[in-house]
Amino acid sequence: MIRNCLLAVFLYFSYLTVHGKALVLFSTKAATSASTNSANAASDLKLLLKRTSSKDKKEAVVGRLSSLRRARGQGDESGFDSYCDSLLSLVDAPRGPVSTLISRAPLAVAAPSFRVNLLLLRRVMELTDTSTEVASRRNTLAIILSQLKSSRGVAGLLREAELRTRKAVSMDEMISRTPEGLETPKYTVVKRFEREGWEVREYDSYALCSTRNVAGFSGFQTLAGYIFGKNQENTTMAMTTPVLMTSDKMSFIMPSDYWGDEAKLKKDAPTPLATSDVEKEAVGGGQLVAALWFGGVSTKKVSERKKEELRKCLEKSEGFKAVDAQDEPVVASYNDPFTAPWKRRNEILINVCNSSV
């Protein structure tokens, strides 16, 4: 108990000399005054971090954040970026000397202050993504704040993050993280290397819609537009999973109505707009694919590291090899952007064959 109290005191007082900076209000209106922005955003953040805040109020705040993030995907990045930058400057503000007022420890344990909660938030961010890139940290912050709408508080979220990130994840658990109700390509597991975290699959046929316009968020918006009706027939299709990504190409899985029949895909699947840079592709069945699974946020840095892990796994494998050593592995992301990192299913995929071939 004494040890816990001392820890709480450290957390409480090490943040007492934080130099507050202006926050930006959750708003899509650029004309809102800076002083109003600061007051409202500070209130919003305190509400999300507080354990006893009502779920309805939390959902309203997260809803505004989601709107800012969607606006960024449509080309309006200023609101989301400035909001997150202001919050990050608060989270990252320098901390002063640790106070030795032990008598306040019970209060700190029973009712963590806003500044203590900010320290806990920072720790969750560190467990989520160690990247120092500004864009990556903005996304990490948005992901974590969105989790707080259904969490009892940031302290509970931290406990969950620490528990989930400490243990190895099996493929069975990864499969359980696949979003319900979304179609995904079918496959048979040929061989699983559970300890190393990868397996070889034989896929059935499926179909893709793809774009090579992958700068920023344009690739996702282009494909989402095609799926949700921005095509020559104005036809809306069901969303699927996963999203597939390489350095120069992004793909969505087409609904199963168009799997296994290339002629039907070309004839019946909605026709992309001439200006959209969307292409329909049939993927034949029977291909062997090596898949390495991992959780967390599939940032560029993490994905590159995982690609190298899979290459090394194949080098050590006595039964399989890459079809083409120069092929770039594909990153497969199964979950929406606001899913907690420790609940995500990600994979690195590469075509393989028997090493004896």
Residue-wise pLDDT tens digits, 185-212 = 999 999 999 999 999 999 999 999 999 9
Residue-wise pLDDT tens digits, 228-257 = 999 999 999 999 999 999 999 999 999 999
Record the pTM: 0.76
Compute the distance between CA of residue 253 and CA of residue 221 in angstroms, rounded to an integer.
15
pLDDT band at 154 (very low <50, low <70, confident <90, very high): confident
Residue-wise pLDDT tens digits, 251-302 = 999 999 999 999 999 999 999 999 999 999 999 999 999 999 999 888 888 9
String of DSSP letters for 201-218: EEEPPEEEEEES--STTH
In a 3-state reduction of DSSP, which class is residue 312? helix
Residues forming a β-bridge with 317: none
Query: Are 143 and 128 within 8 A, CB to CB?
Result: yes
The label of the residue with tokens 């960024």 reads: 72
